[in-house]
Amino acid sequence: MSKRTLAVLSLAAFAVLLVLSPACVSKKRLQRVEQESAAQLAQANARIDELVQKSDALDKSLKDTQGALAGAQNENKQLTATAASLKDQLASLEAQKAELDKALAAGKETEASYQKKVRSLNGAIAGLRKQVTEMEAQITAKDGEIAALKQTEASLTAAAEEQARKFAALTADKDALAANLDKTVASKKSTTLVLGILLALAVILAIVGFVKGKKTA
């Protein structure tokens, strides 16, 4: 084998080594990037799952609170209507008592008849006043319950909106990470393809050089 042939083969071998070295490095780097990205994606997915669970819990609490609020408002409406009815009855009885007072003053009612009727009216009026007082106390308590439920609803709504913002941001980060990984993989595959072509050219040049060297010899 001539010196020229040896030189050509040595040059070809060096070219192959030169091409393969960055290819190996590029492949290892790609594997490392893929592993790191996979770990980051797994972490992002875990955080997303955690946020989904928290969001589901918040949604349930919010729906429960809204249901309780609607129930309390309906009860308050019924209590208010009942209280209004009792007040109407009370006003009617008080009007009857006032008419009896006028009748007694005008001599249209005897004292005995007046006392009998007034005693009955006073008992009914006292009973209605007690019911109205109790009903108004229930309405006041229900108003407090409604106010507390509205505050809880507002707090849960704000928390749910914050969770939604976090979820959107985390999802965007995850999508960006996945897109960056795809871009990196595509770039590395392109680089590997180019290096492969260069390797093929180096081998071809080595063969051509070897053949020419042999013919010359």
**Res 206: pLDDT:** 58
**Res 82: pLDDT:** 96
Q: How far apart are CA 216 and CA 134, in angstroms?
A: 121
Domain ranges of the chain: 38-210
Looking up tokens 């060096």, which residue turns up?
14
Cβ–Cβ < 8 Å for 163, 55: yes
CB atoms closer than 10 angstroms to residue 65: 20
Indicate the angle between helix axes 111-216 and 3-105, nearest 10 degrees. 170
**Res 150: pLDDT:** 97
**Res 43: pLDDT:** 85
Q: Which residue ranges in the chain fall short of pLDDT 50?
A: none
**Res 188: pLDDT:** 60
Encode pLDDT of 125-166 as tens digits: 999 999 999 999 999 999 999 999 999 999 999 999 999 999
What's the predicted TM-score (pTM) here? Answer: 0.62
**Res 170: pLDDT:** 86
**Res 22: pLDDT:** 54
Q: CA dihedral defined by 40, 41, 46, 50, rounded to 10 degrees?
A: 100
Q: Which pair of structure tokens corresponds to residue 147?
A: 């106010």
